[in-house]
Structure 1
Amino acid sequence: MEAEIISVGTELLLGQICNTNAQFLSKRLAEIGINVFYHTAVGDNPTRLLNVVRSAEQRSNIIIFTGGLGPTKDDLTKETLAAHLGKTRVEHKQAMDRIHNYFKQRGIEMTANNRKQSEIIEGSVVFPNDHGMAPGMAIEVNDIHYLLLPGPPRELHPMYDRYTIPYLQSLFQEKYTVHSKTLRFFGIGESMLEEKLIDLIDQQTNPTIALLASEAEVSVRLTAKAKDLDEANERIATLEAELQARVGDSIYGYDDDSLASVVSHLLKQKSWSLAAAESCSGGAISQSFTELPGASEVFAGGIVSYSADAKMNALGVDADLIEQYGTVSEQTARTMAIQARKLFSADIGVSVTGVAGPEPTENKAVGVVFIGVSTKQGVEVFAPRLSGSRQNIQLRAAKYALFYVYEWLNRL
């Protein structure tokens, strides 16, 4: 089955919000074996929306709408589609009761236009809105399934998971499981990874292979279709073993893993703690750890020693060393890592100093970065050469630091 997503809302076209709903739905539809070939964003205009619907009907048998189900005049998705399909709109009692209760519990007068949110297209399968007012719905006309979902992600996501997935799965004549596993790569570019896997990509059938590049990382999603989960996992395991043999050195995690989460896991296994001394990365390492639940078990603390004075006064980097080698140097990174470990009484210290740009510093080019890793066993300094915008270099420097710590921990 082929699906198309139509996102309704002028705010999308004005760039006021990002279309995260289309991203969420595409990912989740792929997980159950439904292909999405088109995304369209259209403003709150019935004529343009109708033109988009007519185009979608020529190429897709599942059309999913997001947005335009609210109480105001510019919420026109239901009205436009109902008129196009020759259907009337009717009030859904359970939805209306929910709306009444919402206003009653809050002691607020319900305005008349809120009744509009309870309307559904006659003959629809209703998706209750457990986190909002307007219900979602699905209706089949001429072998095309039209699904209408609310725009707010906090309403759309749970509605899709609880009610929409079972509806979509009921459309399949043959019952099967679609399962995916994502491999997380670092230290290898998308083009290099593709070159090493090109024969597998060209020959893919079941499982399929999909590469996705993000900031300084690459993910490879393996997706298998099978009669049950065990068979799907077996298919994926066979292909994964081939990838491990070819590019296993660059795999650091799976599925929802991040560099910080896998480093945190390794630290917990060793009952170790980590401290960070950051300059050009501006606290990105510290943030990546403190975003994780239970970070205090492994993250002792961090310091952003951005200026030369901060490096000297807060970390105790020798002034003569800075004068001789500069703040962006192997020597400074080494001392920063050692001092971070000592300052926070941690088992491992990591440091980052470099030139994020946009201008060179100390006669060192933009992208020159030094990363130190210090333990009781010794100190090692790495010098990746990075590129991109200032923000790109800052983020990549932090990720490289985490990756070097990951490799160090795996060697111990």
Structure 2
Amino acid sequence: MELLEKISEYLKKHELKMATAESCTAGLIVSELAGIPGSGQSIDCGLAVYSPKAKNRYLAVSFDTIDTYGLTSEATSREMALGVLNNNDANVAIANTGIAGPKPHDDIPVGTVCFAWAFRHAQEVYIIVETKRFSGDRNEVRLAAAHYALERVPKHHGDVLAGKAPRVDES
């Protein structure tokens, strides 16, 4: 719980409002954060978007991106993060898509999760993408991915503030 409390305090201190677009975690990122009293002021929304059609409909993820790079790809998570950031009252967005299990899909190993963090700061949008592999059963992968997504927010936000994160037009 200490990690989640620290993240909630960080979001409040920096006046960050979060939106999530979650595929493999299915809303667990926002749900875990919402378990902390007072965190609601830092949450705008959480979307669970599994299917390609839902990713396109709610987040404007291009079917071309999905066809070219796959559902579990940094390109897809990037478009998910930008879609949720642009369609909500948020200045930080987290997106993920991955394979929680029980079986690999399209030769992608179980536990592979592609993340994207998007930030709106000083009238610019910044994006960080990363792929990570977690071990464990389906729900252990989902929980580890949700916590990882949250624990990276302060570091990535700090990179934005320090001018070390790529702007959307640069990446």
Aligned to 2:30: 286
C-alpha distance in structure 2 between counterparts of 1:341 and 1:312, whole Å = 14
1:65-109 Cα deviation digits (max 9, x unpaired): xxxxxxxxxxxxxxxxxxxxxxxxxxxxxxxxxxxxxxxxxxxxx
Q: Which residue of 2 aligns with 1:389?
A: 137
Residue matched to 1:299: 43
Amino acid at match of 1:387: S
Aligned position for 1:402: 150
Aligned length: 156
Question: Conserved in 2, the CA contact under 8 Å of 1:386 and 1:396?
Answer: yes
8 Å CA contact retained: 1:351, 1:371 = yes
1:320 aligned to which of 64, 67, 72: 64
Q: TM-score, length-normalised on structure 2?
A: 0.86
Please name the residue that 2:9 is paired with: 265
CA contact (8 A) 2:94 2:115 kept: yes
Contact 2:119–2:157 (Cα < 8 Å) also in 1: no
2:99 is aligned to 355
Instruction: Spell out the pairing of 1:104-119 with structure 2 (5 A cutoff).
Output: none
**Which deviations, in whole Å up to 9, do the C-alpha atoms of 1:337-386 show, x marking residues without a partner?**
11111121211100111001111123211111111000134101111111
Provide structure 2 residue ranges, at least 5 long, that are not aligned to the other structure: 162-171
Q: Which has the larger radius of gyration?
A: 1
Which contiguous aligned blocks of 4+ residues in structure 1 show a shift greater than 6 angstroms?
A: none
SS of 2:29 mapped into structure 1 = helix
User: Higher relative contact order by CA 8 Å / sep ≥ 6: 1 or 2?
Assistant: 2
Q: Return the offset for 1:294.
A: 2.0
For residue 134 of structure 2, give the secondary structure of its aligned residue in structure 1: coil
SS of the residue corresponding to residue 384 of structure 1 reads strand
Indicate the SS of the match to 2:26. Answer: coil
Deviation by residue 1:115-142 (Cα, 9 ceiling, x = unmatched): xxxxxxxxxxxxxxxxxxxxxxxxxxxx
Alpha carbons 2:70, 2:76 under 8 Å: kept:
yes
Structure 1 gap segments, 5+ residues each: 1-255
> Using the alignment, how far apart are the partners of 1:400 and 1:269 within structure 2?
20
Letter in 2 for 1:312: N
Supply the distance in 2 between the matched residues of 1:283 and 1:385 (Cα, whole angstroms): 19
Secondary structure, counterpart of 1:402 in structure 2:
helix
Determine helix, strand or coil for the equivalent of 1:349. Answer: strand
| Alignment correspondent of 1:153 | none
Map residues 327-338 of structure 1 onto 2, 5 A cutoff: 327-338=71-82
Structure 2: how far apart are the matches of 1:316 and 1:362? 23
How many Å separate the matches in 1 of 2:32 and 2:25? 11
**Equivalent residue for 2:112?**
368
CA drift at 1:324: 0.7
RMSD: 1.4
Q: Supply the AA of the counterpart residue of 2:68.
A: Q
* Conserved? CA contact 1:352–1:371, under 8 Å: yes
* CA deviation vs aligned residue, 1:165-207 (integer Å, no higher than 9, x gap): xxxxxxxxxxxxxxxxxxxxxxxxxxxxxxxxxxxxxxxxxxx
Contact 1:262-1:406 within 8 A present in 2 as well: no
Deviations 1:143-185 (A, max 9, x none): xxxxxxxxxxxxxxxxxxxxxxxxxxxxxxxxxxxxxxxxxxx
Match of 2:136, SS? Answer: coil
Contact (CA 8 Å) 2:19, 2:46: kept in 1 or not? yes
Task: Output aligned runs, 1:12-411, within 5 Å.
Answer: 257-258=2-3, 260-376=4-120, 377-411=125-159
Normalised to the residue count of structure 1, the TM-score between the two structures is: 0.37
